[in-house]
Chains A and B, each alone.
Chain A
Amino acid sequence: MTTSTDPDRIQSVPLQLDSLLAEDCHPECGGLALFAGTVRDHHDGKPVLRLAYTAYAPLAEKQIREIEQAVAAKYGVPYLRVLHRVGPLSIGEVAIYCVARAPHRAEAFAACKAAVDRVKHEVPIWKEEFYADGTSAFVEGCCIRPDDEEPHRHAAGAYHDHEHHHAR
């Protein structure tokens, strides 16, 4: 159930930014960083008509909350919130919001970036792209198997670190 103070992190309705910006009051914070990931109309040179996100909600909800707590603690950020959309999305719609509030902008930016990176790499959410030629494909992602002999292996077999970004 979504409330104004503790919304579901995985939502099947358009994400509402106002509630993220309005809730809580942190007078000690002089910086608010906001990231919004929106649906692109292309991928690897192919026109994309729309997307569909799906998630394994029981674990995704838990993991996003854990990421928020861990990243907030690491950067000393009093407020950090990530929301991710699921379901069919049109071009330009918001897929993810991350809001970080911190005493100064540097921590706010850093926490916002770190949280989004971790959600993209660790949380069980999948993106299926639908192309103009009538085909569709799931975007190659990151292996999250905890006892993988080769941790963080890409589906395509390529390795990367968390500083490498999936473009958005």
Chain B
Amino acid sequence: MFKITFEFHGQLLRLAGAETRTLSFDAPVSLAEALSQLGEDVPELDAMLARCACAIGERLVLRRERLDADCRIALLPPVGGG
């Protein structure tokens, strides 16, 4: 078993009402599958997830990438700096 901690930014913080959410998985999953599970567990986020980039540290992660160990994934909604 391993755990993925999702870290919320921007409006996701408001929608989720929390800074993070940790999910447990028994077998390796793709990022897409992990996000699907997150959307089921936190339905307030579901509509936004398709428009979010995901990052581990300073690296952007693609939906097809496999996850098989504990990690922390930053969820990055559409940006609007400047």
Contact = CB atoms under 8 A, between A and B. Distances in A.
Contact of B51 (A96, A119, A155, A168): A155
With most chain A CB atoms within 10 A of its CB, the pick from B50, B59, B79 is B79
Size class of A's contact patch?
35 or more
B60 A143 contact: no
Interface in A50-103: 53-56, 58-59, 61-62, 84, 95-96
A127 B77 CA distance: 12
A122 B55 contact: no
Interface of A: 37, 53-56, 58-59, 61-62, 84, 95-96, 116, 119-128, 138-148, 153-155, 166, 168
12 contacts: A54-B9, A59-B55, A61-B58, A120-B82, A121-B79, A125-B79, A126-B79, A127-B80, A142-B78, A145-B54, A153-B51, A155-B78
A86 to B, nearest CB: 9
B11 interface: yes
Interface string B34-53: 00000000000000001111
Contact of B80 (A62, A96, A138, A146): A138
